[in-house]
Structure 1
């Protein structure tokens, strides 16, 4: 799964990596992002790729119940994303890329969970998660909600000791094909071992929302013992 991640890049970095359009802006660094909060998402428009704030947890356009009743849709499984009713329309029509600086997974027993941060193996400030987005209108208030999900695959052999799932990472030469829909499910494969590096971080990250504005929460710490 991918249930917590970071977005801590500058506008110049995301512009260079993903060729987003628009005037330069100050981006708030986030160090412990949890589902249902707002994240940066890159989608295609006729003018080019734009960086848009969206709810993390996809709400399909056809959803008729209140927002609070939406199930956990912050991840979509690569194996079924093209068929699942929650995601299949967005898979056909509304692809996106979710820029991330890293993501967290945990090892250990309940009550003694150890958080690990995974970042780009080459030291790049940005990973490109394959994602989907949608536009939903709240039937009660008329408010429009843009939302997105991160697609996850099975784990690579390198990732397996930490978790059995991992976010799908897109290479730059796949950006256009992913966004325009010309690439299919075949691109949703586990990343190579060299794509990621890992270190243990503060257990403060175990609490949802804890340290979201604190850069020290992603610094390496020594493993106890």
Structure 2
């Protein structure tokens, strides 16, 4: 799964900053569900979306009334899930990230681990879905069965798209093997709180 990640490094050769159609923000190192995150709905167009998908059919008046945990969606199930099936057909997106966290260890002493790209790219690109609910754009990160890099830490991981997979996903691919070749590096980091932030969060623990 993916419950915390860090903002992408947009000041590198992967992204042409002149094409970004949003105002820049300070980079965050503890992005949480319900935060606004950046999504690609087209190759060179960023938009903001609230992390935690709310389906268009939800009748509530406030996003806080939506209680389901829809910040992640299983790629092998989303097509048929009422919360996700509309976005599966019409709302593909890509969510850039500089890396993500996953916790391991016994329940009363869990420790965070930080995962980042092991390849030449500075960022990871998650498969996502988005939809618009009451003029609020919302999104979810797709997950898949864990690859070798997650062994012993968690049985799920984000669907991390290789360059050749990104347009296929945005174009409606139903290939559940997307992201199978993800190359990641990981190291343990110090425990941190809900409101903590800053680059020190991803420094290796002693």
- With structure 1 as the length reference, what TM-score do the two structures score? 0.83
CA 1:221–1:87: 2 relative to 1, 3 Å: same
Q: Hey, what's the Cα distance between the residues in 2 that align with 1:24 and 1:60? A: 24
Q: Hey, what's the Cα distance between the residues in 1 that align with 2:169 and 2:181? A: 16
What is the CA-CA distance between 1:187 and the residue it aligns to?
A: 4.1
Structure 2 unaligned runs (5+)? none
Contact 1:20/1:42, CA 8 A, preserved across alignment = no
Of 150, 153, 159, 2:150 maps to 159
Contact 1:127/1:169, CA 8 A, preserved across alignment = yes
Q: Which residue of 2 aligns with 1:209?
A: 195
What is the CA-CA distance between 1:25 and the residue it aligns to?
A: 5.0
What is the CA-CA distance between 1:174 and the residue it aligns to?
A: 1.6
Of 182, 186, 194, 1:198 maps to 186
Q: Hey, what's the Cα distance between the residues in 2 that align with 1:106 and 1:20? A: 36
What is the CA-CA distance between 1:135 and the residue it aligns to?
A: 0.5
Instruction: Tell me whether 1:218 sits opposite 2:206 in the alignment.
Output: no
Structure 1 unaligned runs (5+)? 138-143
Q: Which shifted more, 48-57 or 195-204?
A: 48-57
Q: Which residue of 1 aligns with 2:7?
A: 7
Instruction: Tell me whether 1:61 sits opposite 2:52 in the alignment.
Output: no
Which structure: larger Rg? 1
Q: Which residue of 1 aligns with 2:165?
A: 174
Contact 2:76/2:176, CA 8 A, preserved across alignment = no
Aligned length: 204
Extract structure 1 runs of 4+ deviating beyond 6 A: none
Q: Which residue of 1 aligns with 2:69?
A: 72
What is the CA-CA distance between 1:64 and the residue it aligns to?
A: 0.8
1:50-108: per-residue Cα shift (whole Å, max 9, x none)?
11111000111111124222211000011101110111111111100000110101111
Q: Which residue of 2 aligns with 1:26?
A: 24
Q: Hey, what's the Cα distance between the residues in 1 that align with 2:145 and 2:83? A: 20
Contact 1:118/1:197, CA 8 A, preserved across alignment = yes
1:22-56: per-residue Cα shift (whole Å, max 9, x none)?
45853421101110111111112xxx531111100
CA 1:160–1:69: 2 relative to 1, 3 Å: farther
- With structure 2 as the length reference, what TM-score do the two structures score? 0.90
What is the CA-CA distance between 1:184 and the residue it aligns to?
A: 1.3
What is the CA-CA distance between 1:170 and the residue it aligns to?
A: 0.6
Q: Hey, what's the Cα distance between the residues in 2 that align with 1:25 and 1:96? A: 19
